[in-house]
A and B are shown apart, each in its own frame.
Chain A
Amino acid sequence: GEDVEQSLFLSVREGDSSVINCTYTDSSSTYLYWYKQEPGAGLQLLTYIFSNMDMKQDQRLTVLLNKKDKHLSLRIADTQTGDSAIYFCAESTSGGYNKLIFGAGTRLAVHP
């Protein structure tokens, strides 16, 4: 079945780059997403990438997709304390209505 896996925790120093990794199993996924969740809040869409792309950059965020290995990464440049949150990777399932399968989330802790 469909499955999305992420490492659970990442700690970085303020100003460094953060790289959050994700692997997925559904080779027919058309879109892959990164969402950010702050404590007690809903999910904020950060970025998404279409499966025929290798890379997408949006300001401090860079998404890399290796479709052969079914590996997705999110790089945050110049990480700030405000980036501390849980980051969820999600794949869209094949078929209608764009159902998403979420990973367990990676907790990013940014320290001075």
Chain B
Amino acid sequence: GAVVSQHPSWVICKSGTSVKIECRSLDFQATTMFWYRQFPKQSLMLMATSNEGSKATYEQGVEKDKFLINHASLTLSTLTVTSAHPEDSSFYICSASSGSSPFNQPQHFGDGTRLSIL
């Protein structure tokens, strides 16, 4: 159980285009979804936290107009990188949790999306 599917797994596109990444919880309802960015050989950097039906909460330094997050249902969240540029190239990982504090259900992660902007 607790499977999170992320799509696409790899995308290459030209500078200036927008890219949408989907994150789906397949066998549970995800009250909260998280979006992370990971640079090579580094840890995960939390970008934003989203709850179904409400606006995402962005971490300091993350441009909300650049990284649009939508959490329209309890099983789907999307991250859209708008007008992507080479510096946006990275590994993006989503996670989903079925509960929030104080129940603290673990986060379950997708397999990540490697984004390469030419």
Residues of chain A touching chain B, judged by Cβ–Cβ distance below 8 Å, are 30-31, 33, 35, 40-45, 48, 88, 92, 95-100, 102-105
**Contact status of A98 and B100, CB under 8 A, knowing A33-B106, A42-B6, A103-B43:** yes
Query: Are A43 and B93 interface neighbours, CB within 8 A?
Result: yes
Query: Are A97 and B107 interface neighbours, CB within 8 A?
Result: no
Query: Are A40 and B43 interface neighbours, CB within 8 A?
Result: no
Query: Are B100 and A45 interface neighbours, CB within 8 A?
Result: no
Interface size, chain B (Cβ < 8 Å): 29
Which residues of A sit under 8 angstroms from B6, Cβ to Cβ? 42
Query: Are B43 and A97 interface neighbours, CB within 8 A?
Result: no
Query: Are B114 and A40 interface neighbours, CB within 8 A?
Result: yes
Nearest-neighbor residue (CB-CB) of B31 within chain A = A97
Nearest-neighbor residue (CB-CB) of A29 within chain B = B104
Residues of chain B touching chain A, judged by Cβ–Cβ distance below 8 Å, are 2, 4, 6, 32, 34, 42-44, 46, 49, 51, 57, 93, 95, 97, 99-102, 104-112, 114
Cα of A3 to Cα of B109 in the assembled complex, Å? 21
Query: Are A30 and B104 interface neighbours, CB within 8 A?
Result: yes
Cα of A31 to Cα of B57 in the assembled complex, Å? 22
Query: Are A45 and B108 interface neighbours, CB within 8 A?
Result: yes
Which residues of A sit under 8 angstroms from B100, Cβ to Cβ? 96-98
A43 contacts which of B46, B95, B97, B102 (Cβ < 8 Å)?
B95
Nearest-neighbor residue (CB-CB) of B101 within chain A = A96
Query: Are A48 and B106 interface neighbours, CB within 8 A?
Result: yes
A42 contacts which of B43, B102, B111 (Cβ < 8 Å)?
B111
